[in-house]
Structure 1
């Protein structure tokens, strides 16, 4: 398509064509594949293992989420390897698809805003996958979430968080909230930074992020008709709890993610990690 105008893939005709074949794919994925996955993520699936030793319910979640990404035209690709043992994953955040993308590579109990639980299909499946919900604006909710994260990790489950505290731009990594890294000290587990990169070649796919005042449903529909792009999951070097404190650990994780994204810019407000009370109160 190099001989076509740069904006041809975004034309109304091409968008109409993409809806024409992606909508049937989405319907099939929801009404045929999803019931199978729901059976496999029952306690029966949790007690079974694949040939590689992975829990069957985790494998089912990864398969379903990976195919959901493909329905939207994304091409998931993993760079690096997730840590083998119990891990605290920290990632940049620009879209509701971030959880889906990371789940396509590793089944993780995410911390997410409580509103996600009410989203059709995505929220329900997130709940079945063990998502920990946080009520925005509530310090008591954060205290409960922090305690639950430690419990999950001590039980051997992976936990994933977005230390920016909310969604931002595809090519911009905001300040990380350092307090959330206290979980690594309390549970005695390392953190693994994860860079989630949406791109077309060397250029960021900026349209993946929410527009101003855009609802989940509007974003969902817009992305379903957008041209496809790469969706990369970069598993970066492990960071052990730093004796110098959680601010140092947070800053190290953020710098790794910025470097992996290549086109990302740091927060204009400064490089230092924030230690505000609630890292999950933003949108």
Structure 2
């Protein structure tokens, strides 16, 4: 296994909270239908939205992303904001497919995605049309080219969204941040925006129901989310990391990992001011 193809020890059987119940099925079917309708609408509208100027386009994308998450039955709480303009490497811990629209609700950007996502029904087409940067993680030799493409996007003023763990975790644990993408931020001389993602059931402990791990299929994970009750997605935008002349990618990756601080947040139960939808 290469350094670009990390894996997490999490699995649906050992880590993920069950949500299925007969009583929840009608509500879940309705939520699923609305989510799929929103995704198809997103695919159809991408060309028209892409022709809009920056600020109106981003407002529409942020609103649509929040709507997708809410349609799945998940409330959204966002604490903080990212710089609205300029190149920005946005990095976050990775738990669920929900992470992608949640980060786009903070600031729309180009996502670094594994090549397999292209084959996903509906979501794959939407990801490709959004301008995602795809990486073949089985080909380590492709990594320098991917870093260069990320840097080009950052120099052009885009936000590029990366999950540096390289794999999803259940939400009760966190992987180490891989260093490669941070080199792109250094090469392009742009700041890094760490974001902490967490899912809860109301104000209770962390919920793993939204996790998309191990042998999970996308449909199984989607059904578990729409079947759940009172799920809350917490998005905390941490202070921006501005690399200086003495910073290397290892130090920048460790600083971002500490900033996200999922282990500390889960241990202390830290709360913060937030906006809820």
Taking structure 2 as the reference length, the TM-score comes to 0.81
How many residues align? The count is 248
Q: Does the CA contact (< 8 Å) of 1:199 and 1:230 recur in 2?
A: yes
Q: Counterpart of 1:175? A: 176
Q: Out of 23, 28, 48, which is 1:14 matched to?
A: 23
The runs of 5 or more residues in structure 2 that have no matched partner are 1-17, 269-277
Q: For the residues of structure 2 that align with 1:205 and 1:61, how far apart are their CA atoms?
A: 27
Select the structure with the greater relative contact order (CA < 8 A; seq sep ≥ 6).
2
Q: For the residues of structure 1 that align with 2:210 and 2:122, how far apart are their CA atoms?
A: 19
Q: Does the CA contact (< 8 Å) of 1:40 and 1:60 recur in 2?
A: no
Q: For the residues of structure 1 that align with 2:267 and 2:177, how far apart are their CA atoms?
A: 14
- Shift in Å, 1:41: 2.5
Larger radius of gyration: 1
Q: For the residues of structure 1 that align with 2:177 and 2:104, how far apart are their CA atoms?
A: 22
- Shift in Å, 1:37: 2.9
Q: Counterpart of 2:258? A: 255
Q: Counterpart of 1:152? A: 153
Q: Counterpart of 1:66? A: 66
Q: After superposition, where does 1:25-64 map in structure 2 within 5 Å? A: 25-30=34-39, 33-34=41-42, 37-42=45-50, 44-45=51-52, 48=53, 54-56=55-57, 58-64=58-64
Helix, strand or coil for the counterpart of 2:222?
helix
Q: Does the CA contact (< 8 Å) of 2:62 and 2:108 recur in 1?
A: yes
- Shift in Å, 1:104: 2.1
Q: Counterpart of 1:214? A: 216
Q: Counterpart of 1:3? A: none
Helix, strand or coil for the counterpart of 1:126?
helix
Q: For the residues of structure 2 that align with 1:35 and 1:133, how far apart are their CA atoms?
A: 18
Q: Are the structure 2 counterparts of residues 209 and 24 from structure 1 closer, same or farther at C-alpha, using a change threshold of 3 Å?
A: closer
Q: Are the structure 2 counterparts of residues 230 and 219 from structure 1 closer, same or farther at C-alpha, using a change threshold of 3 Å?
A: same
Q: Does the CA contact (< 8 Å) of 2:151 and 2:188 recur in 1?
A: yes
Q: Are the structure 2 counterparts of residues 134 and 28 from structure 1 closer, same or farther at C-alpha, using a change threshold of 3 Å?
A: closer
Q: Counterpart of 2:78? A: 78
Q: Are the structure 2 counterparts of residues 133 and 36 from structure 1 closer, same or farther at C-alpha, using a change threshold of 3 Å?
A: closer
Q: Does the CA contact (< 8 Å) of 1:92 and 1:195 recur in 2?
A: yes
- Shift in Å, 1:260: 8.8
Task: Give CA-to-partner distance per residue, 1:200-225, whole Å, 9 cap, x none.
Answer: 21411112113541112221222222
Q: For the residues of structure 1 that align with 2:104 and 2:165, how far apart are their CA atoms?
A: 19
- Shift in Å, 1:36: 6.2
The runs of 5 or more residues in structure 1 that have no matched partner are 1-8, 266-283
Q: For the residues of structure 1 that align with 2:34 and 2:230, how far apart are their CA atoms?
A: 15
Q: Counterpart of 1:238? A: 240
Q: For the residues of structure 2 that align with 1:27 and 1:239, how far apart are their CA atoms?
A: 36
Helix, strand or coil for the counterpart of 2:75?
strand
